[in-house]
Amino acid sequence: MITNQTNQLLDIDALTLKNSLEEQKITLIDVREPGEFAGEHIKGATLLPLSQFDPNSPKLQGKKDIVLYCQSGNRSRQAAQKLLAAGVPDVMQLKGGITGWKQAGYPIEVNKNAPISIFRQVQIVAGTLMFTGTVLGYFVSPGFLILSGFVGAGLVFAGISNTCAMGMLLAKLPYNQVK
């Protein structure tokens, strides 16, 4: 089922995407970052990360309809807006992203040797910093509690703005640079 969202952005459900992939009717574009794509992706998808997204990319040229996806739909919506602004008439995104695809029970290609996701890396680093700040604040000096407060404020900002500075920094680390 394809449902019209706003403007010319259309949501496509997992079943429709699966059928369209089998019939080779679409170009499926994954707009997540290379480390995420390396870890798992929908078979037949082409990587074009949002951080490097160019509406004029050769990967987007052709006669097939374009379907974008990410983890949950936020980044694919941003990429779709870039395509719409560039004059691409109808752009589709997978409703619910790869999470929705997996919840529908469809297979994904998994690489067990890929780095863990940026989201999990952020959780590990933020949790470690907050725990360390709390322990040092209790045992060494209350001034260390500022570290925990700073990280907590950063997480609140990330949630409100849908941007994560820590995630962007972690994505630049060498082990997250999958080519």
Evaluated on CA atoms 110, 54, 81, 15, the torsion sign reads negative
Q: Which residues pair with 26 in a beta bridge?
A: 65
The helix or strand, by DSSP H or E, that contains position 109, with its residue range, turns out to be strand 109-110
In angstroms, the CA 114 to CA 39 distance is 5
Indicate if 70 belongs to the active site. Answer: yes
Length of the chain: 179
Q: Are 15 and 99 in contact (CB under 8 A)?
A: no
CB atoms within 10 A of CB 63: 5
Selecting among 67, 68, 70, 114, the annotated active-site residue is: 70
Tell me the HSE value of 104 on the side-chain side, using a 13 A CA sphere.
19
Q: Which residues are catalytic?
A: 70
